[in-house]
Amino acid sequence: MHSEDIAIAVSPKIVVSNVRDAHEFFVENRIDIRYQDVALDLIRRYVSSEGMPREPDSLFAAALYVVTRHPWSYPNPLTKTEFASRFRIKESSIDWYTESIVEKLRFVKFHDSNHFPFFVDPKGTISSVINSVVRSSVGEEVVRTIVRGAMLSSEALAEKIVDRLCNVVKIIPSAFEQEVYRIVLKKIDDESNHLLNQLGQQ
């Protein structure tokens, strides 16, 4: 077996221990229970993948930072400096763990016009809705092509989907339209290629 095929097994005890420690950290810092539960699940996922953190409190704070900067919190003017100061943790440590969470768990990062970051969980509601709307919209376009021979351009379809997501369903604040457009456009191309390949249309 090649070494790259061997997954590092993380002991369930390590995961459980970190979740409990994080819960104590959140209780001590009087964190709202709604944020606690989502952040604890994020910590569970991260530790299950990466193992024991070197700086547990920094990971706990970073997970909370990511959770509190969900696009639905827009506009959210709290800076990372203020956030770090509240928890008496170095900003650079929160930075490192934030970037690690984003990379390892494949979060998408949006920025508002003030360049404040907002984070989208690939397993969360926003991602699920985007994926579902893109899949159904591309499916409808592909069958229209089969029966009528005319398909909207990817760009035109992306604009329609983004308008629906941001202005009709309002699953994402319109401040992020450009960022959503880029994601949707890539998903449209991937889904179109997949469906057309299935149908032997390429």
- Please, what are the averages of pLDDT over each run of 10 residues along the chain (202 residues)? 51 95 97 95 96 96 97 94 95 97 96 94 96 94 83 90 94 95 94 83 58
Q: How confident is the model over 21-70, as pLDDT tens digits?
A: 999 999 999 999 999 999 999 999 999 999 999 999 999 999 999 999 99
Check whether residue 89 and residue 163 sit in a common domain. no
- Which ranges of 73-176 does DSSP label H, i.e. alpha helix? 80-87, 91-104, 125-148, 154-163
Structural domain of residue 167, as residue ranges?
125-198
Domain count of the fold of the chain: 2
**Global pTM?**
0.88
On whether residue 49 sits in a domain, the answer given is: yes
Are 106 and 122 contacting, i.e. CB atoms less than 8 angstroms apart?
A: yes
On whether residue 154 sits in a domain, the answer given is: yes
